[in-house]
Amino acid sequence: MTYKIDNLSIKELQKFIIDLNEKPFRAKQLYKWIYQKGITSFEEMTDLPLNFRDKLSDIFEFTKITPIEQLLSKLDGSIKVLFELEDKNYIESVLMFDGERVTACVSTQVGCRMGCKFCNTAKIGLIRNLTSGEIIRQIIYLKDLARQNNKLLSNIVFMGMGEPLDNYENLTNSLDIILDEDGLNFSHRKVTVSTCGIIDKLYTLSKNYKVNIAISLNASSNKIRSKLMPINKKFNIEEIIKSIKNLPIPKRKRITIEYVLIDGINNTKRDANLLVKLLKGLPVKVNLIVYNKIKDSQFNPPDLNYALNFQKTLINNGVATFIRKSFGQDIEAACGQLYAKYYKERGLWKRSNLTQEIKQ
Ligand code: SF4
């Protein structure tokens, strides 16, 4: 039996290594080869004894994700990558450049079962969770892509396909590798996990990891949020506000509130005032995102003036608010737009979940 080595935490790897009658420190050496040097062949790990390398080759293999399409935005230089997984599923990731800030946006699931009405990924439902190896391989690939562009990858955001907290175990396995100084060695300040609001898991995550948190709110009343995001029936706005007050986050850290502005749905002055009432005095900053129109969608982006006025209302009432730059508008960079065509070809598009129940 072979195991994917990049699905293992350092502790699990140490256990394997001890079982092979080798010293535990070899695990750190292996981690450095795999995550810092990006090596995917035991033969190249030249500071490991030859017979140990042979043993490793017998029991381990590396997770393979193959880039099959890569699109470069002429507007902002962001690069979207479509990966084929070993089981012929597809996921996408985006590398975004903003001065010295270079951000990898990665996926955690093939599809998603959360059913947000404005989201392309929702249309295929959940096909499966990604392994931590598949999550990490996206980052290693994008890190290398940044280097090819003479930049260093500085930030990681879990905002691609899927709901990260719906794949909690593999998310946290990958966070362990990302934050380990012998692994990818990122500071928790540079890593953001975004959720549609799975509050119970959010508490668990915050207790164990100091990474940044983003919550996708998108409405200031339960009536509208429930229409846009079925998760609101399980964890409503009041639950989210309560969690913001109670999450064990480090002092001075603010939670990001993501708010996609959709024309005629959630972008009025009244919506902005209600949002002020909800958020005033809380440790949050709001990211307004102008909806990125997707094909066949019932929704439309608002005029930019609406976004500016919405922002003004929030700022004037003491709520820090930014209009988030939308990357790659010419390359279909919004979540799920590129791979949609691959799933359509395979007849999987719209195959399941818009009515799928969210069971937690
Ligand atoms: S917005 Fe995020 S949580 Fe909602 S359906 Fe899309 S991928 Fe899933």
Q: What is the per-residue pLDDT across 79-118, written as a single tens digit (0 to 9) for each? A: 999 999 999 999 999 999 999 999 999 999 999 999 999 9
Assess contact for 248 and 256: CB atoms under 8 A.
no
Summarize the chain as % helix, strand, coil (round to 5). Answer: 40, 20, 40
* pLDDT tens per residue, range 216-232: 999 999 999 999 999 99
* Reported confidence tier of residue 33, pLDDT bands at 50, 70, 90: very high
Provide the pLDDT for residue 292: 86
Residue 236 CA to ligand 1 centre (angstroms)? 16
Place of tokens 């002020």: 276
Question: Does ligand 1 have an atom closer than 6 angstroms to the CB of 335?
Answer: yes
- Res 75: pLDDT: 85
Q: What is the C-alpha to C-alpha distance for residues 60 and 43, in angstroms, rounded to an integer? A: 13
Beta strands, E only, 251-339: 255-261, 284-290, 321-323
Which of the two residues, 352 and 75, has the higher pLDDT score? 75
- Give the C-alpha distances (Å, rounded to integers) separating 280 from 212, 245, 318: 20, 12, 7
pLDDT grade for 327, boundaries at 50, 70 and 90: low
- Say how many C-beta atoms besides its own lie within 10 A of residue 58's C-beta: 10
Is pLDDT above 70 for 67? yes
Angle between helices 269-279 and 237-246 (to 10 degrees): 40
Overall average pLDDT of the 290-296 stretch: 84
Question: Model confidence over 142-158: pLDDT tens digits?
Answer: 999 999 999 999 999 99
Residue 346, pLDDT above cutoff 80: no
Higher pLDDT, 214 or 77: 214
Cβ–ligand 1 distance for 92 under 6 Å, the answer no
Provide the percentage of residues in the chain whose pLDDT is more than 70. Answer: 90
Tokens of 309: 């006025």
| pLDDT over threshold 50, residue 352 | no
In the structure, what pLDDT confidence band is assigned to residue 324 with cuts at 50, 70 and 90?
A: confident
Query: Taking 70 as the threshold, does the pLDDT of residue 203 lie above it?
Result: yes
Pocket lining: 114 vs ligand 1, CB cutoff 6 Å: yes
Contacts of 15 (CB under 8 A, 6+ apart): none
Structure tokens at 238: 């009041």
Among 168, 196, 352, 353, residue to substitute to test ligand 1 (most atoms within 8 Å of Cβ): 196
Asked if residue 199 lies in contact with residue 235, where contact means CB atoms within 8 angstroms, the answer is: yes
Share of the chain above pLDDT 90, in %: 82
Nearest ligand 1 atom to the CA of 161 is 7
Q: Tell me what pLDDT residue 345 has.
A: 65
Confidence at residue 349, expressed as pLDDT on a 0 to 100 scale:
52
Q: Does residue 350 register a pLDDT over 60?
A: no
Please answer whether residues 324 and 64 qualify as being in contact, where contact means their C-beta atoms are separated by less than 8 angstroms. no
CA-nearest residue for atom 7, ligand 1, is: 162
Between 104-118, 245-259, 281-295, 325-339, the lowest mean confidence (pLDDT) is in 325-339
* Phi, psi of 176, deg, nearest 5: -60, -40
Measured CA distances, 24 to 10, 49, 135, 174 (Å):
10, 14, 25, 21
User: What kind and span of H or E run contains 26?
Assistant: helix 25-31
How far is CA 184 from each of CA 36, 165, 197, 233, rounded to the nearest angstrom? 6, 21, 27, 37
Contact between 95 and 78 under an 8 Å Cβ cutoff? The reply is yes
Q: What rounded mean pLDDT belongs to the chain?
A: 91
100 tagged catalytic? no
Q: Is the pLDDT of residue 355 over 50?
A: no
Is 331 a pocket residue for ligand 1 (Cβ < 6 Å)? no
Ligand 1 atom with the shortest distance to the CA of 229: 4
Does 122 sit in the ligand 1 pocket, CB within 6 Å? yes
> What is the per-residue pLDDT for 333?
54
> Are the CB atoms for 73 and 292 separated by under 8 Å?
no
Cα 54 → chain centroid: 36
Which one is predicted more confidently, 335 or 27?
Answer: 27
Nearest to 112 by CA among 134, 130, 135, 88: 130
Q: Which fold has domain 65-355?
A: TIM Barrel (3.20.20)
Helix (H, G, I), strand (E, B) or coil at 314: helix
pLDDT band for 265, please (50, 70, 90 cuts): very high
The C-alpha R_g of the chain, in whole angstroms, comes to 21
Domain boundaries, the chain: 3-61, 65-355
In this model, does residue 6 exceed pLDDT 50? yes
CATH class of 3-61: mainly alpha
